[in-house]
Every structure is written in structure tokens, then in C-alpha cells.
Amino acid sequence: MAKMETISVNAYAKVNFTLDILGRTGGYHRLDSLVCTVGLSDSVTAVRRADGRCFVAIEGLDAEALPRANKPVRAAEAFFYAFGGGGAEIRIVRSVPVGAGLGSSSADAAGVLKALALLYGIADMGAVKRIADTLGSDTGYLLTGGWARMTGRGEQIEPLADMPPLWLLLVLPHTGMDTAACFAEYDRRGESFSPCTQESIDRLRAGRLSPKCFSNALTQAACARNADIARALETVHAVSAYGGGMTGSGSACYAVFAEEAACLAARASCPKDMTALCVPTVPQK
């Protein structure tokens, strides 16, 4: 069998439909979150090299905002440290904004690991996921995506079957949100919220789509730090009877629809100073 010389994969964004915070353990917040990947992605292409060297080139949306030692670079370094190999030329073309709660750099890191595993024939995806889990709380999940329940720090993944396909109107403020700052604000406020992830899963599986399906404990903290998130949420709740919310620590928000046509029609109601995208949920890849 001939060796593959080039492999390309999509690095899908994710949306948190719920985000419960259950306390802290070892300095980390313990989470319980219903997530799914959506039809917005970066592209990752890896080309085999024979000289043992690895280069990562990143272009497109927000590429200049990434630090030099970014997650995709660290993912490539960790992969070759663990598995060896001849090296690779990696090109990432970004479409998912940074600081939006959509996974972004974690998705790129997962895409790099997936592409390199395919390029070099690594079948032990459990070992690949262990690398991913060192790079970010949702990086391991984004290796496969789809509907899932994420618990712990986000490294414990339970894939979910029998979940409905949905259409989402993503409302993206042009101002981002720093994850650490959002969690710090949540801690400072000292608020507590009743967990809702299991109830949301049960409602969606039963076809009882409603605003009660969507909740995020970080919403008030994020709105306190970024007024644009509050504006985006106002739009979300105005355009969909099914509701929606904020994903991750923001700043992106989403409105939920059962059909594409309704999602497209609602896009015209979005603020002109924000980006609005209609995307479907994407099953596990």
C-alpha cells in the first residue's frame, strides 16, 4: 500500500448548547456540557516531509492574533514527540473566529493531530486523544465532534445518539471574549445555577425543542465583561421561538431553528455590525 503524501481535514467549530459549572477540582472548573460540531470549519492540510522537520503556516481569519506557540504548533510538536515520523508541512486556513467560544484554536489543534495520524497511519486514537487533552479542555472532543456530553474539564466525552439535526443562526460580535477572564468574572460574582444538561438532552431526544433546552452558566459573567454579547443575545431571543444562547465563554451566540429556510430568513434581523451565519449541526466524523 502506497504511503499517503498529503491529507486534508476539516476542523469544525463547536457550539455548547448547555454549560453547567459543578464546582472546582484541582484548580479547574468541573463542567457538564452538551455540545455539537457545526458547519463552520477551518481547513488543515498536512504534507509528508522526509527530513524530520515540521512547519506550520496559518492564514485567514484572526491568524495574526494567534501567539507564536499556538495550539496547532504545540499539537504538531507533541505528535512527533510521541510517534516519531519524517516531519510535515502543515497549512491551516482559518474561517472560525478567535475568542468566540466556538473552539477555534482547539479545533485547529485537533485537525493537526487528525491529519498527522492519517498521514502516518497511527491507529491508536486513544493515544492521540491523550495528546489532545493536554492542549485544551475541548481539543480531545474535537477529534471526532458530533453530539456529545463533555464532563470533567471537558476531557471526558460521551457521544450521544438519537439527537435531532438543527440549524443555527450564529451571531458573532466583532469583539471577542477571553476565556480566563470570563471564568474569573463568574467566580467573582459568586452566582450558582441549577444544572440542566441532562434535562436538555432528554428534551431534545424527545423532540421537545424549546428555550428550556439551552443554558450557559457563564452568560451573565460574559455579558458583564462584553456588552456586545448582551446585544447578540437580544437578537437571538427575538428571532427564534425555540430560543438559543451563548456558546462557551462567548462572544458568539446562536439562535436555534428546525429548518434551514427559517434560519436564513432570520439572518436579515441581525445587527449590521455583527456577522451572521446559518450553519447546521454536524454529526460525528
Residue 51 a catalytic site member: no
Instruction: List all residues 6 or more positions away from 24 whose beta carbon is below 8 Å from its beta carbon.
Output: 30
The answer to whether residue 212 is catalytic is no
Which neighbouring-strand residues pair with 89?
A: 47, 55
Give SS3 for 223.
helix
Q: E strand or H helix at 243, and its extent? A: none
456586545: which residue's cell? 228
Q: How far apart are CA 155 and CA 83, in angstroms?
A: 21
Three-state SS letters, 89-153:
EEEEEECCCCCCCCCHHHHHHHHHHHHHHHHCCCCCHHHHHHHHHCCCCCCCHHHCCCCEEEEEC
Catalytic residue among 14, 71, 114, 129: 14
Q: Of 32, 42, 138, 228, which is the active-site residue?
A: 138
**Which of 215, 180, 182, 184 has its CA nearest to residue 200?**
215
Q: Is 261 exposed, middle or buried (0-12, 13-18, 19+ CB in 10 A)?
A: exposed
Query: Taking the CA atoms of the chain, what radius of gyration do you get in angstroms?
Result: 19
Catalytic residues, by residue number, are: 14, 138
